[in-house]
Amino acid sequence: MLTDTHCHLADQPLFDDLPGVLERARNAGVKAMVVPSSSMGDWERVASLARRPGITAAFGVHPWNAREGVDLPSLRNRLAEAVALGEVGLDWKVDVPRNIQMDCLEAQLILARELGLPVLLHCRGAFNELLELLKAHPPKGAVIHAFSRGPELMRRFLEQGCHIGFGGAVTRAGAGNARASVVEVPEDRFVLETDAPWIGVEGGPSEPSSLPRVAGTVAFLRGVSRKRVEAASSESADRLGLL
Ligand SMILES: [Zn+2]
């Protein structure tokens, strides 16, 4: 069984072609999908997606949208129907003041901890700051999604109890750091994702039906069967409570 632990079905072009996207995912063996949200404005759409079988939801405010702030009482209500809080995190490569991003993330980490929910984390260029916040407010579980860095940084997130999310980036032959992490990650500490439509696979765009490409690459790099990789990822997703 294949689980796409991070796909943005509420975003275009996926949302307008939902029946096709879901059929192709089914045909590719993708049985479960976790749909994170990015801003308060897409919570309703994500909630409606999660009423379909095989789809679960996460709610939160992404660092790119941190300026809008977080309505914590509304988020708390939404999270009653969610498997995780997300997508949240820190991104030093966008023009959103760092203190605003940190405040936005910290408030959401405190809520996730209080509710006992795992968090789906986005991070670019802010790894030290993210690790500090995770140490201060350790969540019940966490996925550092679209991980593309090397084993040294990966180990620091593993020590913090995080799972590592691998996606389309690892299908690129030039992704040496990410591929080294794929080889080293413990079998019970990674999950697979596409991050569709935002991260493509080698040679083109992605949707959840691209997940076998990611699973195949991970299996090849680890020298094990694709079935074993798919099972390990799905078991971790289940243990985290994402299914
Ligand atoms: Zn994402």
With pLDDT > 70 as the criterion, what percentage of the chain qualifies? Answer: 100
Distance from Cα 195 to the centre of ligand 1, integer Å: 5
What is the average pLDDT across 217-239? 97
Name residue, tokens 């408030």: 107
- Is pLDDT above 80 for 203? no
What is the average pLDDT across 30-39? 96
Distance from Cα 180 to the centre of ligand 1, integer Å: 22
- Residues 8/195, Cβ–Cβ less than 8 Å: yes
Q: What is the pLDDT of residue 204?
A: 79
Distances (CA, A) of 200 to 127, 171, 197, 238: 23, 9, 7, 25
Distance from Cα 143 to the centre of ligand 1, integer Å: 11
φ/ψ (deg, to 5) at 190:
-130, 155
Q: What is the mean pLDDT of the chain?
A: 96
- Residues 57/27, Cβ–Cβ less than 8 Å: no
With pLDDT > 90 as the criterion, what percentage of the chain qualifies? Answer: 94
Q: What is the pLDDT of residues 108-143, one digit of tens each?
A: 999 999 999 999 999 999 999 999 999 999 999 999
Q: What is the pLDDT of residue 201?
A: 80
What is the average pLDDT across 143-163? 97
Q: So what's the architecture of 2-240 in CATH?
A: Alpha-Beta Barrel (3.20)
Distance from Cα 242 to the centre of ligand 1, integer Å: 15
Q: What is the pLDDT of residues 70-111, one digit of tens each?
A: 999 999 999 999 999 999 999 999 999 999 999 999 999 999
Distance from Cα 186 to the centre of ligand 1, integer Å: 23
Distance from Cα 197 to the centre of ligand 1, integer Å: 9
